[in-house]
Chains A and B, each alone.
Chain A
Amino acid sequence: MASITDPPSESFKLSQLLSDTRYRSYTFQFIALIALIAAFAYLLSNLFQNLAAAGLDISFGFLSEPAGYDINQRLIEYTSQSTHWRAAVVGVLNTLLVAVVGCFFATIIGVLVGVLRLSNNWIVSRLMSVYVEIFRNVPVLIWILIIMAVFVSVLPQPRDFRGEDASASMFLDMFAFTGRGFYLPRPYFTAEFAAGATGWLIVLALLVGSFFGARALSKWATDTQERTGDRPTTWYLTLAIWFVPLIIAMFVMGLAWEMPELKGFNFKGGIFARNSFIALTFALAIYTAAFIAENVRAGILAVSKGQTEAAASLGLRPNRIMSLVVLPQALRVIIPPLISQYLNLTKNSSLAIAVGYMDVTGTLGGITLNQTGRAIEAVLLLMLFYLTISLTISLLMNVYNNSIKLKER
């Protein structure tokens, strides 16, 4: 008689929820879900109780009402009669302007400093270390405020340019560097067909054309090199492709410069870069550049010395070693942290509020919030905007990281 052992009964005991690893994770997640819902319910009930007690509600209707205030720097048309929404958009564009210009300069300064820091020139590399350490270890808000203070207190004000014995004068009669900002000559086109934005569109089209022309030329040179072994000299052709059409177009369209001129209280005409914009951009750029310099240095050091030596033993000249061997490998290390520095710069640009630059924190999160009293809505929109930017950049970075990932066998 073979005794058949019963298979263990599958009856489910309640204690298994905690002791059985198969179910435990569900228990925990369930508890977490309940806790999450409870926390949200608690916070929201508080919110609605408080709002009801204060007689307020949540509504985004204020966005379509006239803002009523003026913004000094506006990239799109805006008057005090425009809506709060438009004011927010003006702010967003101002944020993006600071971010783009700031990133551009931060990259240039950062790469330069990072490379110089590795230079075998003792004094230069020390100087660069000092720069990096000083700027990295002091809050960016302090830098922004210092540069703004320098701007306001050191540079001459427009009133100093006035009168017979003015204590300040314009540089080359074209540039005015004042405590309120820089006034620069503005190019414009006199020809009728190219008035306004049309002229600049034409210029843009020409540049795009030149870009493709130059690419075609370089491809032709490479083909010739592969066929014959000799690379034809093309630099003057490239220069011609870039500049000849442009110069001709400038003549045809009648390029002229509008000079800033002192009229009344301020300079008029020309391009006006406000002190708040310059101070903010410059401070963010040199602060972020200190971090970028460290990334660049780390990236270059990450390329093993064997690579350089191997390239040298192939007979490559030093600058070719840099451009063909070291940089491509270093960039793989440099670019991800570089992009996160860009992201930091963009987020730090919200400190604009400290110098009165009207970025989105200043319009939507500042004046609109003040004037309408819609704190929750305004802060929510503000966070959404920054979140969108961050997530977009992270997404791009992931795409890039995947594309440069080492293809391992």
Chain B
Amino acid sequence: MKKSVFIGALALAGVSGGMAAAGTLDDVKARGTLNCGVSTGLVGFAAPDANGEWQGFDVAVCRAVAAAVLGDASAVEFVPTTGKTRFTALASGEIDMLARNTTWTFSRDVDLKFEFVGVNYYDGQGFMVPAELGVSSAKDLDGATVCIQTGTTTELNLADFFRANGISYEPVPIETNAEAQPLYLEGACDVYTTDASGLAATRAAFEDPSAHVVLPEIISKEPLGPLVRHGDNEWGDIVRWTLNALITAEELGVTSDNVADKAAAADPATPEINRLLGTEGTLGEMLGLDAQWAVRALSVSGNYAEIFEDNIGESTAIGLARGLNASYTDGGLLYSPPFR
């Protein structure tokens, strides 16, 4: 606050001339906190708990980056963003990275000038309907009233899907997931559509989840991932490789429990773990961080599998199966480039 007041004063005085934009990494280090854009509240992915602490799958990525860069997983300022504000917040520098179930698409990458650093969740758009309607396929939805979250790719997929199948529908656009919930529950719309993971999370928050079914059709590819601004590749690399470190750690069996042991001394039998944890090689320095960066990132909430299980996995209320999001060694799509 104080800093911004002074900047405002400087701006008024017209003193600040051509302030060269420093790299995001330097900004974050100077500020001491990471500004991370998250959704305004989607249980399991990013939502404040009863104490106002942000929890969730996307939140964990932010914390891992903060731990890697700043050494403190709590040095994150979570900025809730809606579908409307997320891209401007990132483009204008209000946030350093966006981890808000954002679908990686061509136009967002190329036209909006963002850099998707990877995929942390392979998703697809699905439909949820009350079980009592007895609908078994999305193709039966002719004439239905559909609640959609505006500003998302789901809105466009939906239009395409219904047009392609030659059936009609009545869209009810809604700004946030929180507002969609009561409308759907009260029956103001027959169908709620969003990413399948979001449907599961929403359904889990219902009083009686079993009264609602998620239809089998998945009508789109929705690779969700964190993103940063174009043009700052050093920062992009840090976020990308922090995410890759989480994925690789699962593959290599590094967990939050054993990361400290493994990082204590280099084990000649596992060279890639050594490189990852900085006991061998200089990967951390190449990133502009220190050797321990991945150790810190992994100590926060563990590797990808642990984060998944803690927040959205089958043991939680949301109960998502790994499915496509299993490591490639288990038949999923998660595949991190090697740490070398």
Give chain A's interface residues, CB within 8 Å of chain B.
38, 42, 49-50, 53-56, 68-72, 79-81, 149, 152-153, 157-160, 179-180, 263-266, 268, 275-276, 353, 356, 358, 362, 366-367, 369-371, 373, 375
Q: Is the CB of B188 within 8 A of A180?
A: yes
Q: Is the CB of B143 within 8 A of A265?
A: yes
Contact of B231 among A42, A55, A179, A268 (CB under 8 A): A55
Q: Using known A-B contacts A152-B182, A180-B145, A265-B144, determine if residue A54 contacts B91 with beta carbons closer than 8 Å.
A: yes
Q: Is the CB of B186 within 8 A of A358?
A: no
Q: Give the distance in Å from the alpha carbon of A55 to the alpha carbon of B93 in the complex.
A: 13
Q: Is the CB of A152 within 8 A of B188?
A: yes
Residues of B within 8 A of A160 (CB): 187
Interface assignment of B269: CB less than 8 Å from any CB of chain A: no
Q: Give the distance in Å from the alpha carbon of A276 to the alpha carbon of B91 in the complex.
A: 33
User: How many residues on chain B are close to A (CB under 8 Å)?
Assistant: 48
Q: Is the CB of A266 within 8 A of B91?
A: no
Q: Is the CB of A268 within 8 A of B159?
A: no
Residues of A within 8 A of B108 (CB): 373
Contact of A80 among B14, B21, B87, B159 (CB under 8 A): B159
Q: Give the distance in Å from the alpha carbon of A71 to the alpha carbon of B150 in the complex.
A: 11
Q: Give the distance in Å from the alpha carbon of A268 to the alpha carbon of B112 in the complex.
A: 41
Q: Is the CB of B143 within 8 A of A367?
A: no
Residues of B within 8 A of A80 (CB): 156, 159-160, 163
Q: Give the distance in Å from the alpha carbon of A70 to the alpha carbon of B189 in the complex.
A: 16
Q: Using known A-B contacts A265-B190, A369-B84, determine if residue A70 contacts B143 with beta carbons closer than 8 Å.
A: no
Interface assignment of B258: CB less than 8 Å from any CB of chain A: no
Residues of B within 8 A of A68 (CB): 155-156, 159-160
Which of B1-9, B168-176, B194-202, B277-285 lies on the face that meets chain A?
B168-176
Q: Using known A-B contacts A53-B231, A157-B186, determine if residue A69 contacts B143 with beta carbons closer than 8 Å.
A: no
CB of A128 to closest CB in B, whole Å: 33
Q: Give the distance in Å from the alpha carbon of A152 to the alpha carbon of B229 in the complex.
A: 41
- A-B contacts, 24 of them at CB < 8 A, read A50-B93, A54-B91, A56-B91, A68-B160, A69-B159, A70-B158, A72-B173, A81-B163, A152-B182, A152-B187, A179-B187, A264-B143, A264-B144, A265-B190, A353-B175, A362-B173, A366-B84, A366-B173, A367-B150, A367-B173, A370-B151, A371-B151, A373-B91, A373-B111
Query: Chain B, 175-192, contact with A by CB distance < 8 Å: what is the 0/1 string?
Result: 100000011001111100
Residues of A within 8 A of B88 (CB): 373, 375
Q: Give the distance in Å from the alpha carbon of A53 to the alpha carbon of B93 in the complex.
A: 10
Residues of B within 8 A of A56 (CB): 91, 112-113
Q: Give the distance in Å from the alpha carbon of A9 to the alpha carbon of B21 in the complex.
A: 56
CB of B108 to closest CB in A, whole Å: 8
Q: Is the CB of B188 within 8 A of A69?
A: no
- Chain B stretch 208-248: residues in CB contact (< 8 A) with chain A: 229-231
Q: Is the CB of A157 within 8 A of B143?
A: no
Q: Using known A-B contacts A56-B91, A68-B159, A80-B159, determine if residue A370 contacts B187 with beta carbons closer than 8 Å.
A: no
What 8 new A-B contacts, CB under 8 Å, besides A70-B162, A358-B173? A72-B170, A80-B156, A159-B133, A265-B143, A353-B175, A356-B175, A362-B173, A373-B91
Residues of B within 8 A of A53 (CB): 21, 231
Interface assignment of B141: CB less than 8 Å from any CB of chain A: yes
Q: Using known A-B contacts A265-B144, A367-B150, determine if residue A55 contacts B188 with beta carbons closer than 8 Å.
A: no
Most A Cβ at <10 Å: residue of B88, B152, B229:
B88
Q: Is the CB of A72 within 8 A of B143?
A: no
Q: Give the distance in Å from the alpha carbon of A69 to the alpha carbon of B193 in the complex.
A: 14
Interface assignment of B92: CB less than 8 Å from any CB of chain A: yes
Q: Give the distance in Å from the alpha carbon of A374 to the alpha carbon of B135 in the complex.
A: 38
Contact of B141 among A81, A152, A265 (CB under 8 A): A265
Q: Is the CB of B113 within 8 A of A152?
A: no
Q: Is the CB of B145 within 8 A of A152?
A: no
Contact of B113 among A55, A71, A158, A263 (CB under 8 A): A55
Q: Which 4 pairs between the two chains have the least Cβ-Cβ distance?
A: A370-B151, A157-B187, A80-B159, A55-B113
Q: Give the distance in Å from the alpha carbon of A362 to the alpha carbon of B173 in the complex.
A: 9
Q: Give the distance in Å from the alpha carbon of A157 to the alpha carbon of B14 in the complex.
A: 59
Q: Is the CB of A54 within 8 A of B172?
A: no
Contact of A54 among B155, B173, B189, B231 (CB under 8 A): B231
Q: Is the CB of A367 within 8 A of B141?
A: no
Q: Is the CB of B172 within 8 A of A72?
A: yes
Q: Is the CB of A367 within 8 A of B155?
A: yes
Residues of A within 8 A of B169 (CB): 70
Q: Give the distance in Å from the alpha carbon of A366 to the alpha carbon of B150 in the complex.
A: 8
Q: Give the distance in Å from the alpha carbon of A103 to the alpha carbon of B172 in the complex.
A: 25
Q: Give the distance in Å from the alpha carbon of A262 to the alpha carbon of B142 in the complex.
A: 13
What is the chain A residue whose CB lies nearest that of B87?
A373
Q: Is the CB of B156 within 8 A of A69?
A: yes
Residues of B within 8 A of A276 (CB): 172
Q: Using known A-B contacts A72-B170, A80-B159, A180-B145, determine if residue A366 contacts B186 with beta carbons closer than 8 Å.
A: no
What is the chain B residue whose CB lies nearest that of A79?
B163
Interface assignment of B83: CB less than 8 Å from any CB of chain A: yes
Q: Give the distance in Å from the alpha carbon of A113 to the alpha carbon of B92 in the complex.
A: 49
CB of B180 to closest CB in A, whole Å: 9
Q: Give the distance in Å from the alpha carbon of A262 to the alpha carbon of B155 in the complex.
A: 27
Q: Give the distance in Å from the alpha carbon of A371 to the alpha carbon of B108 in the complex.
A: 9
Q: Using known A-B contacts A54-B230, A55-B113, A265-B143, determine if residue A179 contacts B188 with beta carbons closer than 8 Å.
A: yes
Q: Give the distance in Å from the alpha carbon of A294 to the alpha carbon of B270 in the complex.
A: 81
Residues of B within 8 A of A149 (CB): 182
Residues of A within 8 A of B231 (CB): 53-55
Residues of A within 8 A of B111 (CB): 373
Most A Cβ at <10 Å: residue of B83, B144, B188:
B188
Q: Using known A-B contacts A70-B171, A356-B172, determine if residue A265 contacts B145 with beta carbons closer than 8 Å.
A: yes
